[in-house]
Structure 1
Amino acid sequence: MVQHFTQDTVPDLPPDKLPSMAYRSYFLFVMVLVSACVVSERYILFVLVEPIRRDLGLTDFQIGLVKDLALAIVYIVAVVPFARLSGTWSKKGIVAGAAAVWSVSVLVCAYAKNFWVLLLGRAGIGMGDGAFTPPSQAWIADLFPPKQRGTALSIFLLGASLGAFAGPSFGGWAAHAYGWREALLLASIPGFVLVPIVWFTLRDVRPGLADGSTANHLVRQPFGVAFRELMAIRTFPLLVGASALNTLLTMGMISWAPAFMERTHGMAARDAGVQMGGALFIGSLVGHLLGGPLADLLGRRNVRWYLWVPMISGALAVCVGLLILTGPASRVFPLFGLQLLIGGLAAAPLMAVVTGLAPVSSRSTAVAILMVAINVIGLGGGPVFVGWLSDALHPVYGENSLGMAMRWSMLAGIPSTILAYLASRTYKADAEAARARLAAGMAPMGAI
């Protein structure tokens, strides 16, 4: 499925000509669908927590391990190697192969009879997700020049919005109508459909094409060398830390939302799934659509707005989270939608900054490092911490222990906002240095 090529033999395109806007629009459409597929596979288990917990006899800590940490750990194992391969191997091959892997893994989850098989299936989804993320974002950066990149990434992020809606909504309905196993069986189908679409209709392009890079080949350096080059960019580690902590806050809330509603407010999983899916879809859709164009617009006045938008959104997310946990059931999911809208504003600017600061040849590595931090601290650590703390507090608070644990996750918003502010102070100089390096044709050839 995955073909290998050198930069002298990248197929299908003249070396210095971007594809037509019609093709690039189609490319974004397909990538939105692929992104929606993997995000829905990640989110669908959120609404199946209670039936799986009862059926397999799992604790909240075990659910946290299966639902989030297993996926995150294997994602980490996969993301860096596939980031390095995505410059010298076919991006379309990696993306198509990743979709096949996560689709098979969903089937494994559907047939799980115990904790360990379920853990294995979720780990496979993490493998596919980790293989998909770096090449997809680097591919977009290769096809869209900097002045269009924020908007293109906003469109790409619509896939996350669609997945966040489809996973819980479909999962809640299908689990009620057929059972949680059948819900997962049906959820595996879209990935198998998308594999041939990616393989037969998309084309690889030379890395850095949209930036005017004229490099004919990439010299692979050891990962440690490329890592040190990226960490020497002052804004980069600050932004990685801020993003990871902000994800901890968000996922510590969202991943437990249906269970919180069922235990605290007595809402059935089917109703919670539909309402959560709708809130996440609308909120993230609006946020993702506005975030990139807003940052592109404000960034023309002051480039620091690419960091100020994430900083402001992180602070506001904490305030909304506290309202979610202390208010009546009727406003929980509308506020979740507002929280996702606010958080969604930061996503495209974040991706634009990361891919813009990194040398062209190290973009996939930069994305991989960011995703490792987000998965370790945010997607893996946040929900598992909430589950562990909920178990610890249960003897005192009973079924309300989950809500108390979710309150503690809000504290992550404080250091996240501080780090984003510090990154905004160094970003202008780092962005100017990146542009100068590219203009001089001196971008170091780091690991992919």
Structure 2
Amino acid sequence: MLSTTEVEPPAEAPREELPGLGYRSYFLLIMVLLSACVVAERYILFVLVEPIRHDLHLSDFQIGLVKDLILAIVYVLAVIPLAHLSDRWSRKRIVAIAALVWTVSVVICSAAKGFWVMLLGRAGIGLGEGAFTPPSQAWIADLFPPKQRGTALSIFLLGASIGAFAGPALGGWAAHEYGWRKALLLASLPGLILAPIVWFTLRDVRAGLADGNTTAPQERKPFLEVARELMAIRTFPLLVVASALNTLMTMGLISWAPAFIERTHGMPAREAGMQMGGALFLGSLIGHLLGGPLADLLGRRNLRWYLWLPMTSGAIAMVVGLLILTGPAERVFPLFGLQLLVGGLAAAPLMAVVTGLAPVSSRATAVAILMVTINVIGLGGGPVLVGWLSDLLHPAYGEASLGIAMRWSLLAGVPSTILAYLASRSYKADAGAARARLDTEAAPSFVH
């Protein structure tokens, strides 16, 4: 008689429970404050240009480098490798270190005696922002279930609106009262407080925990393999390009708005900037606040609303942009606010879709690919395209060439809307495949 030996199944990894609503609300508050902090550090220099330029004897070209270009370059170079690292290592530690990096960088800027030190400090802010954005969004996706994720990301986006307003507003006041160096030192305090709060009071959770993944983390894949896997999800590349084109259209308008208003309606740039800043702040704040909850509500009826909402908002933003460029002066600022409100509705649903479609082990990398594409095509390409077209048309149309070039940039909304529609057609199947993949990864397998 043959004897058999029973093989005991391997012990399951301890199950991890989703933290309670109290902790998750506290976590989200910290993420909002961090987002407001890093965006404020980016924008505070906008109101410090003149005192810094005179004190450090910088040219306008050098100011342009330290104010905008170096941040964009470092962000684009750093965001993908740092996002891939955050899919393999502790998100808590990366976010805390990112906050410390941008805090120290602001202090370096405050002590700058010349161009190169200021450039180094601003590069550090770009590095901190690139390290913060992907893991923070992936971390939120890990803690909030799909039905709540759009709302959570909407709340998170409030930080960007607050920072874009608070940085210039508080920075301008502090510079007037204490000088630009002390204004930057004061601006560094929030990051100095928030970094240890993240390190000591927040905790990492398993990737995909809010989606029901309670198993031990899988082996991490090389970046190129992850990128190929993401691009094989039909909805993902369509949505990434649609978002970048929509950003190109929006930034082609906003970045040139003060100059357009001054040339077309004769309003001084300072007055136009103040009025437009208030309209954009209110518009983006309302849009970001409403977008996620609206997508969560409509998505319960039909999942495709997570993409129909960005598709519809992009089409409406194109029409509003045309009204801005052809209407009277008194309608310009309310319409700019409306355009940012409509555009803001798309942001949280977009993030929810990207983090939901990506495998849980590569969510931060997916966000990074999205952000790099948006930065290169949208934030970089939009203003440059309008400026190039304006120069090209100037011999024939004079000062009116800028408005005509801005109208041409609106055409980017057409392929953006079409691509968003195509993405919506494949989204339900891709979301189902993502759910099935997660269920398969989470299912225990024993050898008997």
Q: TM-score range by the shorter chain?
A: 0.7 to 0.9
1:192, distance to aligned residue in structure 2 (A):
2.5
Letter in 1 for 2:60: L
Q: Deviations over 1:336-377 (max 9, x none)?
A: 211111011101111111111111111111111111111111
Q: Which residue of 2 aligns with 1:87?
A: 87
Contact 1:281 1:337 in 2 (8 A): yes
Q: Does 1:241 align with 2:236?
A: no
Question: Aligned pair in 2 of structure 1 residues 252, 339: CA closer, same or farther (>3 Å)?
Answer: same
CA distance in 2, matches of 1:333, 1:168: 19
Task: Report whether the alignment pairs 1:151 with 2:151.
Answer: yes
Structure 2 counterpart of 1:56: 58
Q: Report the alpha carbon displacement of residue 121 of structure 1 after superposing the two structures with TM.
A: 3.8
Give 3-state SS (helix, strand or coil) of 1:298's partner: helix
Map of 2:188 onto structure 1: 188
- Match runs of 1:269-308 below 5 Å: 269=270, 271-308=271-308
Contact 1:15–1:206 (8 Å) recurs in 2:
no
Q: Which structure 2 residues correspond to residues 24-43 of structure 1 after superposition, within 5 A?
A: 24-43=24-43
CA–CA distance in 1 between the matches of 2:387 and 2:185? 26
Structure 2 counterpart of 1:251: 251
> Larger deviation: 38-47 or 229-238?
38-47
**d(CA) in 2 for partners of 1:49 and 1:313?**
34
Question: How far off is 1:263 after superposition?
Answer: 6.0
The answer (yes or no) to whether the contact 1:240–1:373 under 8 Å persists in 2 is: yes
Task: Using structure 2 for the length normalisation, give the TM-score.
Answer: 0.85
Moved more, 275-284 or 364-373: 275-284
Q: Which amino acid aligns with 1:311?
A: M
Deviation at 1:404, TM superposition (A): 4.9
How many Å separate the matches in 2 of 1:178 and 1:332? 35
Aligned to 2:125: 125
User: Equivalents in 2 of 1:116, 1:42: separation in Å?
Assistant: 17
Unaligned 5+ segments in structure 2 are 1-12, 444-448
How much has 1:143 moved relative to structure 2? 0.8
Please give the per-residue CA displacement for 1:17-43, whole angstroms capped at 9, x wherever unaligned: 111211110110110011111222333
The alpha carbon displacement at 1:383 in A equals 2.9
The farther-off stretch of 378-387 and 129-138 is 378-387
Report the counterpart of residue 170 of structure 2 in structure 1: 170
Q: Verify the 8 A CA contact 2:220 2:361 in the aligned structure 1.
A: no
Query: What displacement does 1:16 show?
Result: 1.7
2:287 equivalent to 1:267: no
TM-score, length-scaled by structure 1? 0.85
> Where does residue 4 of structure 2 map in the other structure?
none
CA spacing shift, 1:181–1:317, aligned 2, 3 Å: farther
Q: Contact 1:93–1:199 (CA<8 Å) still a contact in 2? A: yes
SS of residue paired to 1:170:
helix
87 and 274 in structure 1: CA distance in 2 versus 1, 3 angstrom threshold: same
Is contact 2:215-2:442 (8 Å) kept? no
CA distance in 2, matches of 1:289, 1:210: 22
Paired with 2:24 and 2:125, the residues of 1 have a C-alpha distance of 27
Query: Which residue number corresponds to residue 4 of structure 1?
Result: none
Count of matched residue positions in the alignment of Structure 1 and Structure 2: 429
8 A Cα contact 1:357 1:430, kept in partner: yes
Alignment-derived partner of residue 134 in structure 2: 134
Distance in 2 of aligned mates of 1:26 and 1:39:
20
Q: CA deviation at 1:142?
A: 0.9
Report the counterpart of residue 361 of structure 2 in structure 1. 361
Q: Which residue of 1 aligns with 2:315?
A: 315
Aligned residue for 1:166, secondary structure, equals helix
Compare CA radii of gyration and give the structure with the larger one. Answer: 2
User: Match of 2:10?
Assistant: none
| Secondary structure at the counterpart of residue 441 of structure 1 | helix
Higher deviation after alignment, 21-30 or 398-407: 398-407
Distance in 2 of aligned mates of 1:156 and 1:323 = 31
Residue 71 of structure 1 and its aligned partner are, at CA, apart by: 2.0
Change in 2 beyond 3 A, CA 1:408/1:364: same
Q: Which amino acid aligns with 1:123?
A: A
Give, in angstroms, the shift of residue 181 of structure 1: 6.1
The answer to whether residue 160 in structure 2 is matched with residue 160 in structure 1 is yes
Q: 2:229 aligned with 1:229, yes or no? A: yes
Deviates more, 1:105-114 or 1:185-194: 105-114
Q: CA deviation at 1:327?
A: 3.7
Q: CA deviation at 1:206?
A: 1.5
For residues 399 and 104 of structure 2, the distance between their equivalents in structure 1, rounded to whole angstroms, comes to 35
Deviating more after overlay: 418-427 vs 206-215 = 206-215
Structure 1 counterpart of 2:290, which letter? L
8 A contact 2:207–2:217 mirrored in 1 = no
SS in 2 for 1:217: coil
Question: Greater shift after overlay, 319-328 or 15-24?
Answer: 319-328
Q: Name the residue aligned to 2:206.
A: 206
Counterpart-to-counterpart distance in 2, 1:227 and 1:168: 37
Give the C-alpha shift of residue 169 in structure 1. Answer: 3.2
Distance 1:189 1:22, change over 3 A: same
Give the Cα separation in 1 of the matches to 2:371 and 2:47: 24
